[in-house]
Amino acid sequence: MKFWERLGKIDRRIIYIVLAVVVIIPLILTVKLPGKVRAMPRTKDVFDHIENIDPNGKRRSILISVDFDPQTEPELKPQLEAVVRHAFARNIPLLVMALPIQGTDIGIEVFTRLAEEHNKEYGIDYVILGWKPSPVAVILGMGNFIEQVFPTDYWGTPLSELPVMEGIRNYDDVGLVMDFTGSSFYVYWVYYAHTPYDVPVATGVTSVSVADIYPFLGSKQFIGMLAGMKAGAEYERLVKDKYYQDQDIFLRGTQALPALSASLLVIILFVILGNISHFATRRKS
Amino acid sequence: MFFLLLPFLLTQAEVVSPPERSYDPGMDVAVLAGEVDTLQAMLTQVTGNQVEDLEAHMSSMFTRVYTIDSILKVLMEPEELIVEEIQPPANVKVEDVRNDVGNQLVLRWNLSPDDSLLDGYVLYRAVEGKQEFKQIQVLPPGADSTNDNNDLLARMIEYGRDEIASLRRNLPRAKRALPKLKQDAAKFPQADSLVPGIKNNLVAIILGYRRNTVRQFELDMETAKRNAERVQIKIDSLRGEITAEQTEVFTEHVNALASGMVDLQSMVQEDLPPGAAELEALAEETSKLRAKIQGTTVYRVQKLEADLANLEAEIASLESMIANIAFIEEADLEEYAKSRTERMQGLIEDSEGKLLKNRLSYRYKVVAVRGDLQAPSELSAAASPSAQLFHTQRINVLVAMIFFFSLVTFFISQAKRGKNLFLRKIAGLEAIDEAVGRATEMGRPILFVPGLSTIGDIATIAALNILQGIAKKAAQYDTPIIVPNRDPIVYTVAREIVKEAYSDAGRPDAFNPDSVFFITTSQFAYVAAVNGIMLREKPAANFFLGMFWAESLLLAETGNISGAIQIAGTDASAQLPFFITACDYTIIGEELYAASAYLSREPNLVGTIKGQDWGKATIAGLLIVLTVLAMFGIEFAVKLLTTV
Amino acid sequence: MKRRIPLTLTLVLGIVMMIQFFIPHQFSQDFKNTALEWLRVIGGFAFIIGLASFITHHYTKIKHKKEGWAYSPIALGALVVMAVVGLIGRSPNMNWIPVTVQGQQISVFTYLFSNFFTHMMIPLGATMFSVLAFYIASAAYRSFRAKSLVSILLLVAAFVIMLAIIFYNVLPLGDLGEWLLSVPNMAAKRGILLGASLGGIATSLKIILGIERGYLGGTK
Amino acid sequence: MKKWVPTVIFLAVAVVLIVLAIVFLPVSKSVWVWIAALLTLAIFSILYRDNPIYRIAEHIFVGLSLGYGLAMIWHLALWQIALRPLFVEGRFILIIPIAIGLLYFTRLIPKVSWLVRIPISIALGLGSGIAIPLIFQATIFEQTKASLVLPEMFAPGNPWPGIWAIILIIGIVTTLAYFFFSRKEKSVLSPVSKVGIIFIMLGFGATFGLTVMSRVSLLIGRVQFLLREWLGIIAQ
């Protein structure tokens, strides 16, 4: 029984070190999970929807809203990159905006890097709209006329001078609104874009909000969802298998997956051990 | 640490590929069109055209055979039909679209019996009583309805106006800039001749895009040249990468593939009837092999060479553009601006003439067209696009709003009139007495954290309401209470509340002003300080009520270790699980508001809770009743909840 | 007057916007678009409140030499540097003091601004949250107790979800997790969502009617 | 332990690690990556205990965020949608909202500070008025509609969607019953709300598991940065 008691009083820093080791080792050893990552149905839904967007049709563009701060960047960036790669591979025009102010520069960083990798050109294949205050007024206003909300792009060029905006006027010309958020901005897109203007909306979220989003998935208010880093890995896999089979692209999420599995397992073990030690020592006293 | 390997071992056990989606029926035609082409090509190559095999293959793959029939028909009867007469569409009906701003009409008609022979339909419109028909839309064959609205026209008008405005704005600017531009352009060798297309383009650029000075061109060119150099270097280095050995391996692979192809082809030829599927597999296999053999190096060199060619072309065009600026005169700018403005004005007038107007009635005719042949339908009845003042499909929302508003206001007024409205007890609240009692017995203090949010948060207000009751009990039993704060305003309010509670309990002298204090606005520094209090002062009861974020976990964990009774409550659903597993009692979500109403008896709070209660009851009731109705196949149930 | 004007504005605008929802006519749409545009313009100025309270907070801290005041100049300095660099560096066509980065000529301000963001703000923000992983591991060991039926249920559900994530490729587990999320979880979350929506509507209504007036200045 | 001890330990460990890294690893040669890495480590130092290095990093972050916001709001909001349309395009009507927005400044002038309530009340009034009907539409109606059990869910051979839909509706109703505060003790609703708490706990359990995953993902992201961009241990 002494063993359990001592285990119960273990220093928290030892636990920290165990977790750190469990995260670092699979990353360094570049452990690869056997088999392919199986995509969850919600992820597949998003992929299929983007597959079915016709880059020459009416609803031909995707509006990407980078609604996250640096705080949740590690979870959402793999998703964002995978979706952007997918859209670039299919030549879908992309409009990029942000509801929280810091999202703009995260978007710029990702897009400048990926555009160079994929030979895409600013103003022709994508446009950074930037940020405007009052999220509700921004989302609702874009349903009327995008240029009314964003008269110019992020760098001050009038939108009418950018070829990518040709024929894209409001949500009627948008095939999908893809919102990436670490907070509850997804609700705004349901309330103020999907409900009044009936534009398809999907969301990429941190795992924290995943369970809360299910009611909206059940009611088809979201056409799909990307759930945390795991979904980033799944989407990367789907995109790579279809478009980049022979190309070497950096799969941020896939690389992280073994470490994620290992650390979750360790945490489960911690809970079990902690409970055993708790009840063992309590019975004694 | 064998468990590290466990997930990988287990996943090895059963690897399942993602479930294939069955074909979407709506997509059959598109998918099939592609299939037919490739298959036909392959079959012709191997056996000559055998339509039976094609059909067998396709019907094994797809359930919808009728689309195949239509494709086969086209495949088997390729000769051009000679048509001398076509029938018109009939029965053109026009209807106003309800619940809109009054700018659209919906049209429906019966297809012409010769629909499959047509090039399409052309839609004409005239104002009622006038003979002048305007062409509105051109539709593909098979279209038997359309929506006539102002969307596209409004877009055209807006585009035209924008362009005119920018021309007007930019003309004087461009005139001013031109001499300087020409000066700069003189530095470049003259172009051989002035290409009219480039000239127009240049004039437009100079007029419209103020950043595009020669300077910008020069910069662009520099970048382009630098890029070209880089690409060249890259190509050279990559070429160096392929060794003689690699080339040998490469050739070997190609030869192997070539011999393999022959075998595979003969094999396919032998068992052809079900062989279409194998053909497909073969095609896939071949393409994969080819990609592998080609090797990334060769691919990259090719791509870079293409890039280089593009860049060189770009440099050349930039050079000629800059040189051409020397030929542009001020008159050119004016002329361009004038002609462009005229064109845009024409566009605007034309579009405005076609706009549907709210108060006019219109008649339509639909003309079937094949080459030179035209067959106009009868004129439709007149219809007018009207704007509505009430959205009839939103009545249900209006009813729900009025119902819920009256519930809330009714209960608030009841509560204000002093009527005692019943609210159930809340488990966490009952434990408060127990916790305060235990602290008194043990002679240790009570810790109360009113959340980390501002006073604007409902959860904070609810927490402060609960603090009122706890502070009063603490004052009665003479148990010390500690209230650390993160928000300065919450701090002042909390202080007042505790002070008031002590005087309510008849012991104003016992109030210790240092017991309610402000720590810091920094999230983690605040938590560190509170954790320090828990470990040093060892309070017997911890209350975490209000709005919490990530720190919930830290607070609850430290409290748990210090052995205190913990009562937590928040409406942040992501934080509740941490409280539930680490605290003794947890007040969940809405319970927090109810608890605060229950304790404070504030009429606004109690009334709202009651109103929401009956709102929830209505929803639950509707769910059950409408489900029963829907199960009996009554569509009304679903319609009732459909909004636009 | 100090209360009546704002309360009347809220009442009138709130009711007008509610009525607007039911009128499809053009004038109603035009009104809505103008209101939204004004809302965006007004919203642009709202940051002043945050800025003012930040500066006064740190200023008083330094003035009275409160605990930890030495950090306040750092925060204020970072604010000023970032604001200046951003105001200059993000201007269109800015090329003061150009530097060459990867063959492109850009202003040193633009260069600093984007690097401050990507190499200071992102790592700082992201790491602050990642620290929680360690805290969760520690709490998992020391505090997540299956002490009642309720917490047992909760822990079991959490285990199922975590195992489903780890072993998603193993069919029954992955599907069990998916089921848990899309049936019992969805039911509970939908119930809570419906309740919370009613709460949100009631609060909005109280704001419009002037019953809830916390925004008038915090204290009563 | 003295207050400065962790700082010294942190610095010592950092210096040793840096030297080791430079000697043995293909570390990044970018100054900026180094700054990012050191700031990352500075934040991680709170795991040992609250210390000055952490506090400095934290305050830098707060200051930078606000300075960033200030610059962006000027360029993207005030200039692009308010001042330029007014002064360059001559849309003088915008003077009204700009004047209202400027009232936020009265917060700094005690005598007229009540005027700050005007822009706030306008934003709240418009916001609440827009929100109410849309919340009815988007949650109350849509969510209720999506919860109905329909006959077509009981397809012959696969009745499971229908069965799950029935469980779903039971879960929703019992959850609502749990949060029904007008119920008397010992009423029929008591056992019903006990069923509700089961659903609620399963739901929270799901959130719990996912939250754990979320936090761990964030950590992995940072470790990935340190090992890949900074130290170059993991291949690019």
Instruction: Give the integer Cα–Cα distance in Å for B14 and B329.
Output: 76
Tell whether C152 is within 8 A of chain A (Cβ): no
- pLDDT digits 0-9 by tens, C89-132: 888 777 788 888 877 778 899 999 999 999 999 999 899 889 99
Residue B246 confidence (pLDDT): 58
On whether the CB atoms of residues C46 and A133 are closer than 8 A, the answer is: yes
Whole-angstrom CA distances from B216 to A119, A124, B205, B220, B222 are 22, 19, 12, 6, 10
Which residue among C21, C157, C192 sits closest to D202, beta carbon to beta carbon?
Answer: C157
Mutate to test the interface with C, among D124, D173, D180 (most CBs of C within 10 A): D124
Residue B9 confidence (pLDDT): 35
Residue from B341, B321, B339 nearest B205 by CA: B321
- pLDDT digits 0-9 by tens, D27-80: 888 899 999 999 999 999 888 877 889 889 989 998 999 999 999 999 999 998
Residue B244 confidence (pLDDT): 57
Q: Do B557 and C93 touch (CB under 8 A)?
A: no
Residue B195 confidence (pLDDT): 64
On whether the CB atoms of residues A180 and A68 are closer than 8 A, the answer is: yes
Listed ranges A96-105, B43-52, B140-149; the one with the highest mean pLDDT = A96-105
Instruction: Give the integer Cα–Cα distance in Å for B208 and B214.
Output: 14
Confidence of residue B74 (pLDDT cuts 50, 70, 90): very low
On whether the CB atoms of residues B564 and B447 are closer than 8 A, the answer is: yes
Residue A154 lies in a domain: yes
- pLDDT digits 0-9 by tens, A133-143: 999 999 999 99
Both tokens of residue C132?
């929680």
Residue A36 lies in a domain: no
Q: What is the dihedral of CA B511, B512, B513, B515, to 10 degrees?
A: -120
Q: Do B15 and A36 touch (CB under 8 A)?
A: yes
- pLDDT digits 0-9 by tens, C41-93: 999 998 888 888 889 888 988 998 887 789 999 999 999 999 999 999 888 77
**Which chain C residues have a beta carbon less than 8 Å from that of A157?**
92
**Which chain B residues have a beta carbon less than 8 Å from that of C199?**
590, 593, 612
Mean pLDDT, rounded, for C6-11? 94
Residue C34 lies in a domain: yes
Please enumerate in sequence order all residues whose Cβ is within 8 A of that of A74, keeping only pairs 6 or more positions apart, or say none: A229, C126, C130, D217, D218, D219, D220, D221, D222, D224, D225
Dump strand ranges (E) for C55-190: 98-101, 104-107
- What per-residue string of b and e applies to C155-165 under the rule 16 or more CB within 10 Å gives b? bebbbbbbbbb
Mean pLDDT, rounded, for B178-200? 71
Residue B170 confidence (pLDDT): 78
Domain span at residue A69 reads 41-250
Mean pLDDT, rounded, for B135-139? 86
The predicted complex's ipTM stands at 0.90
Instruction: Give the integer Cα–Cα distance in Å for B449 and B534.
Output: 11
Residue C9 lies in a domain: yes
Place of tokens 């127009």: B200
Residue of B nearest to A167 (CA): B155
> To the nearest whole number, what is the mean pLDDT of chain D?
89
Number of residue pairs across A and D with CB atoms under 8 Å? 148
pLDDT(B279) > 90: no
- Do A54 and A177 belong to one domain? yes
Neighbour subunits, A (≥3 Cβ pairs < 8 A): B, C, D
Residue B290 confidence (pLDDT): 52
Please tell me the distance in Å from C65's CA to the nearest CA on chain A: 31
Window 35-64 of A: residues touching D by CB (8 A cutoff) are none
CA A29 from chain centre, in angstroms, equals 26
**Which residues on adjacent β-strands are paired with residue B480?**
none
**Which chain B residues have a beta carbon less than 8 Å from that of A25?**
4
Please tell me the distance in Å from B216's CA to the nearest CA on chain A: 15
Report the number of secondary-structure helices (H) and strands (E) in chain A.
12, 6
Residue B353 confidence (pLDDT): 83
Q: What are phi and psi of A56, to 5 degrees?
A: -115, 0
Residue C43 lies in a domain: yes
Please enumerate in sequence order all residues whose Cβ is within 8 A of that of D192, keeping only pairs 6 or more positions apart, or say none: D173, D174, D177
The third-level CATH classification (topology) of the domain covering B427-593 is: Rossmann fold (3.40.50)
* DSSP string across B383-432: B-----SS-GGGHHHHHHHHHHHHHHHHHHHHHHTT--------HHHHHH
pLDDT(A216) > 90: yes
Residue D221 confidence (pLDDT): 93
Residue A74 lies in a domain: yes
**Which chain A residues have a beta carbon less than 8 Å from that of D222?**
74
Instruction: Give the integer Cα–Cα distance in Å for A207 and D209.
Output: 9
**Which chain B residues have a beta carbon less than 8 Å from that of D133?**
394, 397, 401
Confidence of residue B10 (pLDDT cuts 50, 70, 90): very low
Number of domains forming the structure of chain A = 2
Residue of B nearest to C27 (CA): B101
Domain span at residue C19 reads 1-69
Q: Do C23 and B391 touch (CB under 8 A)?
A: yes
Q: Do C218 and B560 touch (CB under 8 A)?
A: no
pLDDT(B157) > 80: yes
Residue D26 confidence (pLDDT): 80
Tell whether B296 is within 8 A of chain A (Cβ): yes
Which residue among B102, B560, B577 sits closest to C154, beta carbon to beta carbon?
Answer: B577
Residue B313 confidence (pLDDT): 85
**Which chain C residues have a beta carbon less than 8 Å from that of A132?**
40, 44
**Which chain D residues have a beta carbon less than 8 Å from that of C114?**
none
The domain locations on chain B are: 191-274, 406-421+603-644, 427-593
- pLDDT digits 0-9 by tens, D147-195: 999 888 888 888 899 999 999 999 999 999 999 999 887 888 889 999 9
> To the nearest whole number, what is the mean pLDDT of chain B?
78
CATH number at residue A137: 3.40.50
Confidence of residue B59 (pLDDT cuts 50, 70, 90): very low
pLDDT(B297) > 70: no
Residue from D38, D50, D40 nearest D1 by CA: D50
Residue A263 confidence (pLDDT): 95
Please tell me the distance in Å from C121's CA to the nearest CA on chain A: 7
- pLDDT digits 0-9 by tens, B473-489: 999 999 999 999 998 88
Please tell me the distance in Å from A195's CA to the nearest CA on chain B: 8
Residue B193 confidence (pLDDT): 60
Number of domains forming the structure of chain C = 1
Please tell me the distance in Å from B529's CA to the nearest CA on chain C: 12
* DSSP string across D142-199: HHHHHH---GGGSBTTB-HHHHHHHHHHHHHHHHHHHT-TTPPTTSTHHHHHHHHHHH
Q: Do D216 and A263 touch (CB under 8 A)?
A: yes
Residue C211 lies in a domain: no
Three-state SS at B456 = coil
Window 23-52 of A: residues touching C by CB (8 A cutoff) are 35, 37-38, 40-41
Please tell me the distance in Å from C168's CA to the nearest CA on chain B: 8
pLDDT(A285) > 70: no
Mean pLDDT, rounded, for B320-346? 85
Mutate to test the interface with D, among A71, A110, A210 (most CBs of D within 10 A): A210
**Bigger pLDDT: C40 vs B220:** C40
Instruction: Give the integer Cα–Cα distance in Å for A62 and A49.
Output: 11
Residue B114 confidence (pLDDT): 84
Half-sphere exposure of B86 (CA within 13 A, CB side): 28
- pLDDT digits 0-9 by tens, A149-169: 998 899 888 887 788 888 888
**Which chain D residues have a beta carbon less than 8 Å from that of A256?**
217, 220-221, 224
Please tell me the distance in Å from A88's CA to the nearest CA on chain C: 23
**Bigger pLDDT: B558 vs A38:** B558
Window 37-96 of D: residues touching A by CB (8 A cutoff) are 47-48, 65, 68-69, 72-73, 75-77, 80-81, 84-85
pTM: 0.81
Mean pLDDT, rounded, for B386-410? 93
- pLDDT digits 0-9 by tens, A89-130: 999 999 999 999 999 999 999 999 999 888 888 888 899 999
Place of tokens 């004004």: C38
Window 56-115 of D: residues touching B by CB (8 A cutoff) are 58, 62
- Do A198 and A152 belong to one domain? yes
Mean pLDDT, rounded, for B515-519? 89
Over pLDDT 90: what percentage of chain B?
Answer: 26
pLDDT(B20) > 50: no
- pLDDT digits 0-9 by tens, C170-192: 768 888 999 999 999 999 999 99
Both tokens of residue B182?
């020409």
Count of positions (residues) in chain C: 220
Which residue among C29, C145, C159 sits closest to A268, beta carbon to beta carbon?
Answer: C159
Which residue among D145, D176, D208 sits closest to B577, beta carbon to beta carbon?
Answer: D208
On whether the CB atoms of residues D218 and A74 are closer than 8 A, the answer is: yes
**Which chain D residues have a beta carbon less than 8 Å from that of A215?**
143, 146
Which residue among C24, C128, C139 sits closest to B391, beta carbon to beta carbon?
Answer: C24
Residue D38 confidence (pLDDT): 92
- pLDDT digits 0-9 by tens, B604-633: 999 999 999 999 999 999 999 999 998 888
Residue C50 confidence (pLDDT): 84
**Which chain A residues have a beta carbon less than 8 Å from that of D225?**
74
Residue of B nearest to A195 (CA): B644
What radius of gyration, in Å, describes the C-alpha atoms of chain D?
Answer: 29
Window 111-170 of D: residues touching A by CB (8 A cutoff) are 123, 127, 130-131, 134-135, 137-138, 142-143, 145-147, 168
Window 194-223 of D: residues touching C by CB (8 A cutoff) are 196-213, 215-216, 218-219, 221-222
Which residue among B8, B17, B162 sits closest to A34, beta carbon to beta carbon?
Answer: B8
Residue B226 confidence (pLDDT): 81
Q: What are phi and psi of A130, to 5 degrees?
A: 100, -145
- pLDDT digits 0-9 by tens, B198-239: 677 777 777 765 444 566 677 777 878 888 888 888 777 766
